[in-house]
Structures are given as C-alpha cells and as structure tokens.
Structure 1
Amino acid sequence: MRSPTFRKMAAPVDLELKKAFSELQVKMIDTQQKVKLADLQIEQLTHVQKHANLTHAEISTLGDNTRMYEGVGRMFILQSKDDITQQLKVKQKTAEEKIKELEQKKVYLERSVKEAEDNIREMLLSRRAQ
C-alpha cells in the first residue's frame, strides 16, 4: 500500500509525462500528415518527370521540319522543336529539384520526430532513476 505522500510526489511527474506524451502525439500526427503530403507531391512530380521524358523521347525521333503545337488551355500554339525540347528539359529539371527538396524535408521531419521520442525516453529514464 502506498503512502499518501508518495501519491502527491508522483502526481506532478505523471502530469509532466502526460503533457510530453500528448505533445509527442500531436507532433507525430502532424509529421505523418506532412510526410504523406510530401509523398503525394513526389508521386505527382515523378509522373510529370516521366511524362516529360517520354514526350522528349518521342519528339526526338521526329524531323526538324515537323510542325509541333503546344497545348495552352483550350488552344494550341505552333512552336519550334527546339522550344518544345527546351521546355521539356526545364520541366524535368524543375521536377527533379523539387523531388530532392521534398526528400530532404521528409528526412528532416522523420529526424525531428525521432528526437522528440528520444527526449521522452530520456525523461522516463531520468524519472525512474529518481
């Protein structure tokens, strides 16, 4: 049977741990949502990158005098092969850069959650040592 003084001393520790766990839970949920969003964006950018790559591959087989049109809204604009090729290269490069940024963001988010978990573990170990 525990003494009444033990309960009074244990209560602040429990409240502090409870607060730390609830903050960790909020942080983890927020981070999971951000990681899912980053994954979706990476998937979309990968699709854009593949589409631009395939289009570039198809265009490269055509002759230089072939008339090419770029779709803009509901109309098509006559463009040179070089212009379209350049636009596709820019699309691919932009998508690749954004994918790298998103991957770095995911690593950062996962690292921050791990650090928060480690801090709570240290707090638990220090409480047990007392």
Structure 2
Amino acid sequence: MVASVDLELKKAFIELQAKVTDTQNKVKLVDVQIEQLHRMKKHAHLTDTEIMTLVDETNMYEGVGRMFILQSKEVIHNQLLEKQKIAEENVRELEQKKSSLERSVKEAEDNILEMLTVQRTW
C-alpha cells in the first residue's frame, strides 16, 4: 500500500514539475514579447519626436512593403501615436498574463512542497 501511494506521489510530482517548467517557459516568452513591445513603442516615440521638429507642411514617405507612399506629417504623426497606444495596451495585457502565469507557477510549487511534506510524514 505504501508503494502505491509512493508511486502516485511520484507521478503527481512529475506532472507538477512538468507544469512548472512549461509555465516558466511561457513566462519567459511573455517577457520577451513585452520587451519587443517596449522597443517598438520607444522607436515610434523617437520617430514621432523627430518628425514633430519638421515644418507642418512637410510631406513624408511611409514604407509599405517594398514601396513608399507619400503621406502628410499629420498622418504619419497619428499613425505613430496609434502604434504607441496599441503597444501600451498589448504590454498591459501581457503583464496581466504574466502575473497569472506566475501565480500558476507559485501554486504548482506550493503543491509540490505540500506533496513532499506529506511524503516525509509517512
């Protein structure tokens, strides 16, 4: 009977360990995505800062695929602001996802510790 309980604990421990590893990998992926969004937002902000120094009547070219489209300064400015806003929203969503993943990891680690303490008492 002790062997079957020990086997069940070992199986549950392995499953929880796999879940923790998987969740930690997901957290790392979310961190990378957040960093990319921060870089994209900073790039858009710096570009916007530079184009705001130009005269209002300045026409600019926007890169679209393998071609360039003539746009006004206002259109480019609005696009860059929208890009920053979208990046900010995505960062918030990813931060929430990251916190829920970290809670999941914490719960799984707590379960592993609980199993180990139960196993030691036997």
Q: Same fold (TM over 0.5)?
A: yes
For 1:27, the equivalent position in structure 2 comes to 19
Q: CA deviation at 1:104?
A: 1.2
**Match of 2:58, SS?**
coil
Q: Which amino acid aligns with 1:30?
A: D
Structure 2 residue corresponding to 1:114, chosen from 100, 106, 114:
106
**Match of 1:62, SS?**
coil
**Aligned Cα root-mean-square deviation (Å):** 1.5
Structure 2 residue corresponding to 1:15, chosen from 7, 20, 28:
7
Structure 2 residue corresponding to 1:63, chosen from 33, 55, 68:
55
Rounded to whole Å, the distance in 2 between the matches of 1:83 and 1:94 is: 16
For 1:94, the equivalent position in structure 2 comes to 86
**Runs of at least 5 residues in structure 2 that lack an aligned partner in the other structure:** none
Q: Which amino acid aligns with 2:91?
A: I
Rounded to whole Å, the distance in 1 between the matches of 2:19 and 2:38 is: 28
Q: Greater Rg, structure 1 or structure 2?
A: 1
After TM superposition, the score normalised by the length of structure 1 is: 0.85
Q: CA deviation at 1:44?
A: 1.1
Query: Displaced runs of 4+ in structure 1, greater than 6 A?
Result: none
